Amino acid sequence: MQGIKDKVIIVTGAGRNIGQVYSRRLAEEGAKVVVCDVIDCEETAGIVRAAGAEVLPLHVDVTDEAQTQEMARRAVEQFGRIDGLVNNAALFQDLRSDENKGFMDIDMDRWDRVYSVNVRGTFLCMRAVFPYMRDAGGGKIINIGSGTFLHSSRGRMATNPHYVSSKAAVMGLTRAVAKEMGQYNIKVNTLSPGGTDTTLNAESVQPFKEETDRALNRPETPDDLTGTVVFLLSPESDFITGQMIVVNGGMETY
């Protein structure tokens, strides 16, 4: 298998949870990792260094165009190029208080903020890395979506319509941009996780006691996602672009 050794990969939203686990796995595979977030990235940077990889931690608000451009510039200044971008930053766990609100109860400032981070942020980061990837002859972009819009709401309440629709927009954005980027050998795909328990890892996860709708009857952990991230960043996936890969243990089948 051709891997990602010495590739330069930017991970947004890398300061905690799934983004931190992506960064650790990329480091273990020998990549150089640029870890970006609005929260402090030093813990993630320490994990990457402990795995023996080079790291550049940056404070980046993905909604701010100038900051995303500076992110790309600093990555190239430090490591000479950008091979991959994992657009992972999102308003997700910070939306817990909206979870059981009906669609009439969603605050419109909140709606705008979710779209600003999840959609505009994804778009701006792609635009920031594009000139460097084009001039280098190619690159790989993974936009993190969500399987959530495949099942919609599980109850009668319209849970998180702003979040759910923003992640559908990420898939649409991927499809549109992948077409344009093909001529530059830049591959753009969506990775959509199922509901993922960020408190668990490959060692601590246990089977569910009850039957669920999931074919693989256990909780999903961040470790379940990292193999697909490595694959989509590696030459092994070089003819895959514009697609969405759903990693959910066979909950919804897409």
Ligand X SMILES: NC(=O)c1ccc[n+]([C@@H]2O[C@H](COP(=O)([O-])OP(=O)(O)OC[C@H]3O[C@@H](n4cnc5c(N)ncnc54)[C@H](O)[C@@H]3O)[C@@H](O)[C@H]2O)c1
The whole-angstrom separation of Cα 249 and Cα 214 is 6
Identify the H or E element spanning 151.
helix 148-151
Cβ proximity to ligand X: between 111 and 184 the closer is 111
Cα separations in angstroms, 141 against 46, 96, 185, 194 = 24, 28, 11, 20
Given the complex with ligand X, which of 136 and 200 has the nearer CB atom? Answer: 200
The residue annotated as part of the active site, out of 22, 132, 163, 184, is: 163
Nearest distance in Å: CB 116, ligand X: 8
| Nearer to ligand X (CB atom), residue 3 or residue 195 | 195
Nearest distance, CB of residue 114 and ligand X, angstroms: 10
Q: Which is nearer to ligand X, 63 or 237 (CB)?
A: 63
Active site residue 163: yes
Q: Which two tokens stand for residue 237?
A: 């996936």
Residues 45 and 35: beta-carbon distance below 8 Å: yes
Least separation in angstroms between CB 147 and ligand X: 6
DSSP H or E segment with residue 128: helix 121-136
Extract the tokens encoding 97: 């208080």
Nearest by Cα to 130 from 175, 187, 197: 187
In whole angstroms, the minimum distance from the beta carbon of 206 to ligand X comes to 18
Q: Which is nearer to ligand X, 6 or 100 (CB)?
A: 100
Binding residues for ligand X, rule: CB under 6 A, are 12-13, 15-19, 37-39, 60-63, 88-94, 117, 121, 144, 146, 193, 195-196, 198
Rounded least distance, CB 144 to ligand X, Å: 4
- 13-16, long-range: CB < 8 A, 24+ apart: 13/37, 13/62, 13/88, 13/89, 13/90, 14/41, 14/44, 14/88, 15/39, 15/40, 15/41, 15/43, 15/44, 16/43, 16/44
Sequence-distant (≥ 6) Cβ neighbours of residue 7 within 8 angstroms: 31, 32, 83, 84, 233
**Catalytic residue ranges:** 163
